[in-house]
Amino acid sequence: MKKTLLSLLLLCCCLAGFAQEPINVMVLMKDQYNRAELSRKAQFISTRTARRDFVVKELQTFSEASQYDLMLTLNELEQQGLVSSIHSLWSANALYFTTTEEVMQSLAERPDIESITPIIEYQCIPDGYSRIDHQVLYEYIAPNIRQVNAYQVWEQGNMGQGVVVAVVDTGVNYNHVDIASHLWDGGEEFPNHGYDVYNFDDDPMDDNGHGTHCAGIVCGDGTAWLATGVAPEATLMCVKSTSEEGQSGAANIIKGMEWAVEHGCDLISLSQGIAKASVEDKELMRHCCDAFLDAGIVVVAAAGNEGSAVMQNVCPIPNNVRVPGSCPPPYLDPDQMVNPGGLSCVVTVGAVDENDTVTTFSSHGPVTWQDTEYGDYPYDTIANEPGLIRPDVCAPGDMIWSLKYNTNNDYDYRSGTSQATPCVAGVVALMLHENPELTPAAICQILEETALKLTPTKSNLTGCGRVDALAAVQAAAGWDAVDESLDISEDNFDVSTQRVFDLTGRVVNTNNLTPGIYIIQGINGDKVKTKKIVIR
């Protein structure tokens, strides 16, 4: 009865002339799934695919129940023309729709709503890249492929076969011959190998160029004649989440990532992000990336192109890295342990040139989450609080050749962390082909520990160094061995630096371990040593 009266009151207000222009709003529900409980349930599922499917279903069911009463009200308002385009986000227990300011203000009084805010649309595809429109006139393997030693992995028969990489971007020209033979098969429901969440149709064709270029760096196979992809036989899932101009927002980015996970991707390459994001958008993105960590999905995300001195005047540290690139990694490097905090699924990527020198445009940390509901990774130069180190690793991002979107057989070059990101996503695809059960924490740790070191410690310019595909794949090959005999108090581990993780990468209390498989990490001599243990 209360909901009906509310709807009638709103309708009367609109008929009386008080209605305003429609606005797009985002709602974050007050109830949130207990992350510790979700992690506990997920760690006992034996395979990464089954864990992904379990977490997706669990969070979808939770969100549906939590949003049930609100959805009844919204459906009533929709029938009266006061609400339209209702979409739910299960990873963050949120939803977004179009309505009026009067409706938004009335809904804000509901006890089940944590926050309701107007949606802000940003330029999510970073500026600062360059491109030309003529054919490449040199080697048959793009230089960045050689720089990260990917071609040496190919020589071992590993080209990323069987790994589904979702490129969530401006769309993809799926007709380009260099990717046409290994596109995700969506059947009759998704005949164009993906989805467009920005326009809500089944055609993710690229109308900008950015997404096709990024996709080619993941898996362009050189059919036209230039090998541009790090994992040239990986399966490409095409997801469009922006306008033609590259504009989008947290809702569309999350919806694109959710769609990809729902439809079976193994990892996400995300060369977009929000600069100068609102607190609400930051929190929403981190809720999503927390959920994907539990689901076992890595999101390889661009740091952004705001690293120059000029751009730092606009986006100063600790807000120089775009969201979700500013979200925490799934694994905390020992250098971060002076200021630890929570984890998420994001591996953040910076850009270097052909000489492994950081580019002027590459965004860098530290970042902080102290101004959000998470309250972690404080940054204060006076109090010696260093924040969160960003990025995690770097990759070639200067003048990178890849697919030209408005042809089906040609190439152009661009520069940016947008180009470095799919390079790392391609390396992860090679790692997952070698070892399909790698957790996000293991993927991040391997990438960091096998990278070519550019600084003595993890750096806010280049992370742990420039990725090395061959070294990463070799390390991934032997990662799944379980040492059941390991004693947690083993003498060759430094107890002061020792940590124990569950299989999602979350630190656990060693005084209260339930049966399951855990990862123990400690210092052995001058090296970080990691082993698995079984608690029965």
Buried b / exposed e along 268-298 (16+ C-beta atoms within 10 A):
bbbbbbbbebbebbbbbbbbbbbbbbbbbbb
C-alpha to C-alpha distances, 75 to 71, 162, 372, 447, nearest whole angstrom: 6, 41, 32, 47
Rounded Cα–Cα distance for residues 331 and 442 (Å): 8
SS (H, E, C) 513-536: CCCEEEEEEEEECCEEEEEEEEEC
Tokens of residue 428, six digits? 């992860």
Buried b / exposed e along 310-343 (16+ C-beta atoms within 10 A):
ebeeebebbbbbbbbbbbbbbbbbebbeebebbb
pLDDT score, position 37:
87
Interaxial angle between packed helices 417-434 and 469-477, expressed in degrees from 0 to 180 and rounded to the nearest 10? 30
- The domain segmentation of the chain, as residue ranges, is 2-119, 129-477, 495-535
Confidence of residue 479 (pLDDT cuts 50, 70, 90): confident
C-alpha to C-alpha distances, 322 to 129, 211, 215, 303, 434, nearest whole angstrom: 16, 18, 20, 6, 31
Report the predicted TM-score, pTM, of the whole model to 2 decimal places.
0.88
Instruction: Give 435-475 pLDDT, tens digit per residue.
Output: 999 999 999 999 999 999 999 999 999 999 999 999 999 99
Q: H or E stretch including 91?
A: none
Rounded Cα–Cα distance for residues 376 and 228 (Å): 39
Spell out the alpha helix ranges (H) of 197-308: 210-219, 250-262, 279-294
Among residues 218, 194, 201, 205, the alpha carbon closest in space to that of 171 is found at 205
Instruction: Give 109-134 pLDDT, tens digit per residue.
Output: 999 999 999 999 999 997 655 544 44
Tokens of residue 220, six digits? 């362009």
pLDDT score, position 535:
64
Q: Measured in whole angstroms, how far is the alpha carbon of residue 452 from the centre of its chain?
A: 23
Rounded Cα–Cα distance for residues 73 and 77 (Å): 6
Instruction: Give 327-363 pLDDT, tens digit per residue.
Output: 999 999 989 988 989 999 999 999 999 999 999 999 9
pLDDT above 50: residue 374: yes
Q: Which fold has domain 129-477?
A: Rossmann fold (3.40.50)
CA R_g for the chain: 23
Give Cβ neighbours of residue 530 (< 8 Å, ≥ 6 apart).
Answer: 445, 519, 520, 521
103: Cα within 13 Å, side-chain hemisphere = 32
pLDDT score, position 1:
38
Instruction: Give 449-459 pLDDT, tens digit per residue.
Output: 999 999 999 99
DSSP secondary structure of 330-350: SS--GGGGGS-----SEEEEE
- Determine what percent of the chain is predicted with pLDDT higher than 90: 79
Chain mean pLDDT for the chain: 88
Sign of torsion over alpha carbons 496, 502, 506, 508: negative
Which of 20-29, 107-116, 246-255 bottoms out in mean pLDDT, i.e. has the lowest? 20-29
Confidence of residue 12 (pLDDT cuts 50, 70, 90): very low
Beta strands 194-196 and 235-240, pairing class: parallel
Instruction: Give 40-65 pLDDT, tens digit per residue.
Output: 888 778 889 999 999 999 999 999 99
pLDDT score, position 204:
98
pLDDT score, position 506:
59
266: Cα within 13 Å, side-chain hemisphere = 27
Which of 189-198, 230-239, 527-536 bottoms out in mean pLDDT, i.e. has the lowest? 527-536
